[in-house]
Amino acid sequence: MFDHDPYAALQALKPMAEFTLESADFVDGAELPLPLRAAGQGAGDRSPQLSWSGFPPETQSFALTCFDPDAPTGSGWWHWAVANLPASVTSLDADAGEPGALKLPTGALVLPNEDGERRYAGSAPPPGTGVHRYMFVVHALDVPRLSIDPEATPANLAIQCFFHGIGRAVLVGTAVNPADV
Pairing of strands 109-110, 77-86: antiparallel
Q: Residue length, the chain?
A: 181
Q: In terms of C-beta density within 10 A (0-12 exposed, 13-18 middle, 19 or more buried), how is residue 74 classed?
A: exposed
pLDDT in tens, 162-180: 999 999 999 999 999 988 8
> From the first residue on, what is the mean pLDDT of each consecutive set of 10 residues in the chain (181 residues)?
81 96 98 91 88 98 97 95 98 97 96 97 94 97 98 97 98 94 81
In DSSP notation, 34-73 reads GGGB-GGGTS--PPPPEEEE---TT--EEEEEEEETTSTT
Q: Which amino acid would we find at residue 118?
A: R
pLDDT score at 120: 97
pLDDT score at 2: 56
Distance in angstroms (rounded) separating the CA atoms of residues 155 and 100: 21
pLDDT score at 39: 85
- The backbone torsions φ and ψ at residue 167, rounded to the nearest 5 degrees and listed phi first, read -165, 160
- Tell me the pTM: 0.97
Distance in angstroms (rounded) separating the CA atoms of residues 175 and 77: 14
In DSSP notation, 10-22 reads HHHHS--EE-EEE
- The backbone torsions φ and ψ at residue 121, rounded to the nearest 5 degrees and listed phi first, read -110, 120
